[in-house]
Amino acid sequence: MSKFEKSEWAEDKHAKEFMENADIYILERQRLFEILKSFYTYFLGNKAYQRPINVLDLGCGDGALTRELLKEDPKIKVTLIDGSAEMIRNARKHLESYEGFNFIQKTFQELLKDESEGNDKITDGFDFVISSLAIHHLHTKEKEALFRYIHEHLNSGGFFLNIETVKAPTDELESWYRVLWGEWIRKNQIEMDAKENFEYLPEQYKNNPDNHPDTINTQLNALKSVGFQQVDCYYKYGIFTIFGGKK
């Protein structure tokens, strides 16, 4: 089993570094957000719900995804979960003006353990479960268990959308995707006039023992196997993808 406590995300300085620099090195981060918002508006926001839409943000970091959704719909009600105390602190700070949000510092492993032992305190049904760049820290079986957890906690007709890095189907493609990512970082750094150089990141990502990406097909199949419908990869650029499904 993967251990959050032994991963770099358990260190505050790693969380801080991500919050400061993610826009520089996460490939097309703004486009990922745009697709998330379009998905939300098309499938959920435009529907005549008589109540606030209930969202679960898994591995929320400082609440970046939730803050994007709030631009589309300021009435959503969100539960934010992350293993990192530093991230939850920052999410709380950024979202302090919103009432009724639920901030939970818990690892996915703890979430699954509580569920299997019947101690899961999250009884809400969610309309939309979102996650970004967090679930690849789990091994394949843990991912499957989390996908099942998500399916069980979704209301009928609800959606799961995961922004995520995936493993390429061959080593040759994996190697090119890293080059592609590096090329994008180089160009983006010039456009953003970045003070630091992050071109080393694709190589570091590959060698990082905390990362356990699976192929897109493995994950789409896992979603189907736990009961999701409309399962598809909604976007892909090298190893960066958006995929999900409907309950």
Ligand X SMILES: C[S@@+](CC[C@H](N)C(=O)[O-])C[C@H]1O[C@@H](n2cnc3c(N)ncnc32)[C@H](O)[C@@H]1O
Binding site for ligand X (CB under 6 A): 4, 9, 18, 22, 59-61, 64-65, 82-84, 87, 107-109, 132-134, 137
Nearest-CB residue for ligand X: 61
Shortest distance, CB of residue 9 to ligand X, whole angstroms? 4
Closer Cβ to ligand X, 24 or 87, answer by number = 87
> How far apart are the C-alpha atoms of 40 and 57, rounded to whole Å?
13
User: Residue 229 is encoded by which pair of tokens?
Assistant: 């419908």
Closer Cβ to ligand X, 54 or 66, answer by number = 66
Shortest distance, CB of residue 45 to ligand X, whole angstroms? 20
181 with 189: CB under 8 angstroms? no
> How far apart are the C-alpha atoms of 144 and 223, rounded to whole Å?
8
Shortest distance, CB of residue 147 to ligand X, whole angstroms? 14
Residue type, 170: T
Nearest to 213 by CA among 238, 188, 191: 238
Please report how many Cα atoms fall inside a 13 Å half-sphere around the Cα of residue 115, on the Cβ side.
Answer: 19
Shortest distance, CB of residue 29 to ligand X, whole angstroms? 8
Shortest distance, CB of residue 165 to ligand X, whole angstroms? 9
DSSP string spanning 43-82?
IIITS--SSPPEEEEET-TTTHHHHHHHHH-TT-EEEEEE
Closer Cβ to ligand X, 47 or 152, answer by number = 152
> How far apart are the C-alpha atoms of 101 and 45, rounded to whole Å?
18
Closer Cβ to ligand X, 34 or 49, answer by number = 34
Closer Cβ to ligand X, 6 or 187, answer by number = 6
